[in-house]
Amino acid sequence: MTVPAAPGPAPAAAPGPVLACRQWADRRADVDPLTGTVTSDPRSAAASPADDAALECALRMATAWGTHVVAVTVGPPGSEAVLREALAAGAERAVRVDAPEPGDAASVAAAIAGVAGMVGARAVLCGDMGWGRGSGAVPALVAAVLDARQALGLVDLATDPEQPGVVTGWRRLDGGRRQHLRAAAPFVASVEGGVALLRRAPLAGVLGAGQATIEVVAPAGTCPVPSWTPSSTGPGRPRTHVVDGPDPDDPVRRRVELLTGLTAERPARRVVRAEPVDAAHQLIAALADWGEWS
């Protein structure tokens, strides 16, 4: 089922530079099974596939809108490696928020939002899993600090050169559904790793990035995290599908046949060749006829 896109905001002006967030973390960390101690090695630290996808989307946006990309990370001096990768791929500016450890999601979000304000970026791209133990909370908190629109957990992201500052995308919903989003700057978007493959950096870009200057700024404070109390907790339970039972006066054999469907007429097999939208409607109609969709 596709959720139709709501009427979007009016086309916006070019949003200035596009901010691409990069996390520096050890992707091959070892965990002691007895003590739970995590041992990491900076030599195996790198950006995640989701961060690479976010950078590629930011570079495409900058090309379509006639602007440039600013890469940002929060971490120690060793994290500048992911910024130089961004410069080699096409980013024009790199900023590192100096922090011995990235810290919690709120402090990282405040740092990124501070850099967005410093460079004048009204479009922020992040990977969907990163700081905050992979919870995906940082992009949402950045949007809260910037008072920007959110388009989080996208599986597809597109831009239109005729509408600078406006993006459209798709994200997953429960039950196999999809939601179509449209957002105008200011916005914060997070993408999955399969959205885009980061382009290969040219040799000139790699050599230039090795000598480029990385701007270093002090970390900002923390952003307020709203507190809330859930109304109820527990496992999710699907809605009960009510089916009329057999007549209790029928013989036992007849009731067993009805309950097991041994004598039920089954619909003939039908092969349908149609466009995706038409095929989806036919599937929904068939499920409704079978009593599996309400």
pLDDT tens profile 178-206? 888 898 889 999 998 888 889 998 999 89
* pTM of the complete model: 0.68
The answer on pLDDT for 108 being more than 90 is: no
The answer on pLDDT for 260 being more than 70 is: yes
The answer on pLDDT for 41 being more than 90 is: no
Confidence of residue 173 (pLDDT cuts 50, 70, 90): confident
Spell out the domain ranges in the chain. 14-217, 252-289
Given this model, what pLDDT does residue 228 score? 58
- Domain 14-217, CATH among 1.20.58.220, 3.30.70.790, 3.40.605.10, 3.40.50.620: 3.40.50.620
Is residue 136 within 8 A of residue 153, CB to CB? The reply is yes
**Between these two residues, 68 and 4, which has the higher pLDDT value?**
68
User: Nearest CA to 103 among 18, 262, 220?
Assistant: 220
Average pLDDT on 139-148 reads 89
The answer on pLDDT for 59 being more than 80 is: yes
d(Cα 252, Cα 88) in Å, to the nearest integer?
76
Confidence of residue 242 (pLDDT cuts 50, 70, 90): confident
